[in-house]
Amino acid sequence: MDNAMQTTATAPARAEGQQQEQVQQHVVPPVDVFETESAITLLADLPGVSREQLTLRVDGETLLLEATATASGPDGMQLVYGEAQCAAYRRQFTLSRELDAARIEANLREGVLRLTIPKAEEARPRKIEVQVG
């Protein structure tokens, strides 16, 4: 990956005097990044996240991923005591100009988010024909 994408973890801002309990801590999801001649593919592990709980946003050169996981119990049962906590995920990426952010494709399946970010046409390798003459 030749600096096509940089990643940073983002922490929530906390107002002056705000109690620690009120600040939601975010988990930085693990991500694998693969590159081909035509695109960057990002695989993010987001267990327990549904499509409705996932937000992807591009603002300029920044791609922001935010999600909330939920734990569901067996049907017909009510939780009386639980120690498992649901994660709030957040991860931010800086996209290079060689990527076409307008054509990002996203697919969420079995807790894995797959983002395909195509490279801009001018950033793709191409073969130059040599004319005889």
**CATH label of the domain that carries residue 103:** 2.60.40.790
* Of 73 and 57, the one with more pLDDT: 57
Question: Band of the pLDDT at 2, cuts 50, 70, 90?
Answer: very low
| Locus of tokens 């049907």 | 75
Structure tokens at 34: 């693969």
Structure tokens at 69: 């996981």
Neighbour tally for 79: CB within 10 Å: 10
Max mean pLDDT among 5-19, 75-89, 100-114 falls in 100-114
- Residue 86: give the domain boundaries: 25-72+80-122
Look at residue 100 in the predicted model and tell me its pLDDT.
93
Mean pLDDT of the chain: 83
- Domain total for the chain? 1
- Residues in CB range of 71: below 8 A, 6 or more apart: 48, 82, 84, 86
Structure tokens at 58: 């591009």
Q: What is the mean pLDDT of residues 63-68?
A: 96
Classify residue 34: in a domain, yes or no. Answer: yes
Classify residue 43: in a domain, yes or no. Answer: yes
Q: Are the C-beta atoms of residues 115 and 33 closer than 8 Å to each other?
A: no
Classify residue 113: in a domain, yes or no. Answer: yes
Q: Judging by beta carbons within 10 Å of its beta carbon (0-12, 13-18, 19+), is residue 82 exposed, middle or buried?
A: exposed
Question: In this predicted model, what pLDDT tens digit does every residue of 11-62 receive, in sequence order?
Answer: 444 445 444 444 568 899 999 999 999 999 999 999 989 999 999 999 999 9
